[in-house]
Structure 1
Amino acid sequence: MKLTLTQFLTLDGVFQGPGGPDEDRSAGFAYGGWSMPYNDEDFGAFINEVYDQVDAFLLGRGTYEIFAAYWPKMTDPADPVASRLNALPKYVASTTLTGSDWQGTRIIGRDDVVKDVTALKEQPGRELQMHGSGKLAGSLMAHDLIDTLHLVTYPVVLGAGKRFFAEGGLPSAFRLTRSRATSTGVVISTYERAGRPEYGSY
């Protein structure tokens, strides 16, 4: 399976707390919910496209717990997001989570998350999808394990919060395969991994 990541970002690279004020208040973060005013039909169409390609999910513990508190309650079989999240396998990378009541959940990464994710990618299927899970994504990008990035960039600057591309990350090159803007000014860019950066001079 190909490993893809859909990540919401501000213009200054913050991924913390896009979905609500109380989603992630760590380090005193007070700007949660910054993505919500920009959602529209264009964004919804993109999300439906993404979920139409999924065969399994890979999530960090924080994102998993947010999803597990909400999506099992959504039981409409016509909902393209809920139907897949509730029916398909969900792999949670955690060294502390001991179990879950959400059907189809399996905990991985207790000893070696890189080894476990590599094994998942070797399984047959279309996409192993990550949504959010910024800390886990950073770890996997450092080992060239994420194949496709869907960066959803919102027209807002916060000046504080967890940055997605943190200092010390692995230098990586990507190839832009698609870019579009929603009616509210959100830019959705899809990138494929393309090895290491090349360098030159003017």
Structure 2
Amino acid sequence: MKLSINLFMTLNGVSQAPGGPDEDTRNSFNDGGWLFTVWDDSCSTAVNRWFEQCGALFLGRTTYDVFAGYWPQVTDPQNDVARILNTAQKHVVTSSPVGNEWADTTNVLDNNFLDAVTELKTVDSAKELQVHGSIQLARALHKAGLVDVYRFLIAPVTVADGFSLFDEPGPSYRMNVQHGTVTENGVFDVEMRPEELQITQTAAVQDGKDSHQEV
């Protein structure tokens, strides 16, 4: 089972509180809801495409609480995202019980979640273990080199300092772009798979011309 990170992101790399002003105000973040200033039908199409690949969810506690307070109320049978979120297995990284807030949820303790992900990735499945939101969890998984697929909707918006996937050092990758397009409102919809970064060429002047050469 591949592990994918699926995030909404601003142009300056922030993924905190895309959906609303009260979604996540940690560190006095007050730009919540920035995503819906540029949301369009193609963004909805992209998110539907993400969830078509979902076999199970791996969530941080803050994102779990936000999702659990919203998505069980969405009972529209035509909403595929709600159907998947409400029925898929949900693994939650938390140090305290979540109770019975949302069906089919499994607790994963903070001190062993990397081992849990490694084990889940051994499951033979065409579907993915997906991280949505959960930016600090996503950052830890990226730093550990466990992510197989990165999907972003990058909004043409800048906001104040907030949580970002790339706030801390991580692996050196060349990203192999599998899908990339721009929506009507200028949101960059991209899917990438990480590959080892290999530096094989460098800038050089040859015969008076700006060129490059093998390292």
TM class, shorter-length: over 0.9
* Structure index of larger Rg: 2
Give yes or no for the alignment of 1:96 onto 2:100: no
Matches within 5 A, 1:76-115: 76-115=76-115
Shift of 1:51: 1.2
- Consecutive unaligned residues of structure 2, counting only runs of 5 or more, are 204-215
Shift of 1:200: 4.9
Shift of 1:197: 5.1
Give yes or no for the alignment of 1:167 onto 2:168: yes
- Consecutive unaligned residues of structure 1, counting only runs of 5 or more, are none
CA contact 1:109–1:116 (8 Å) conserved in 2: no
Q: Secondary structure at the match of 1:140?
A: helix
Give yes or no for the alignment of 1:179 onto 2:180: yes
Q: Secondary structure at the match of 2:179?
A: strand
Partner of 1:61 in structure 2? 61
CA distance in 1, matches of 2:98, 2:109: 12
Shift of 1:111: 3.1
TM (normalized to structure 2)? 0.88
Shift of 1:98: 4.4
CA distance in 1, matches of 2:152, 2:48: 15
TM (normalized to structure 1)? 0.93
CA distance in 2, matches of 1:197, 1:186: 30
Partner of 1:194 in structure 2? 195
Matches within 5 A, 1:1-202: 1-125=1-125, 126-196=127-197, 198=199, 200-202=201-203
Q: Supply the AA of the counterpart residue of 1:198.
A: I
1:59-117 per-position Cα deviation (integer Å, ceiling 9, x unaligned): 11111110000111112222101111111111111123443321100011343111001
Q: Supply the AA of the counterpart residue of 2:116.
A: D
Q: Secondary structure at the match of 2:70?
A: helix
Change (3 A) 1:32 1:43: same
CA distance in 1, matches of 2:177, 2:75: 36
Q: Secondary structure at the match of 2:186?
A: coil
- More strand by percentage: 2
165-174 or 27-36, larger mean C-alpha shift: 165-174
CA distance in 1, matches of 2:146, 2:3: 7
Shift of 1:169: 2.6
Number of aligned positions between the proteins: 202
> After TM superposition, what 4+ stretches of structure 1 lie above 6 angstroms from structure 2?
none
Percent of residue pairs identical = 35
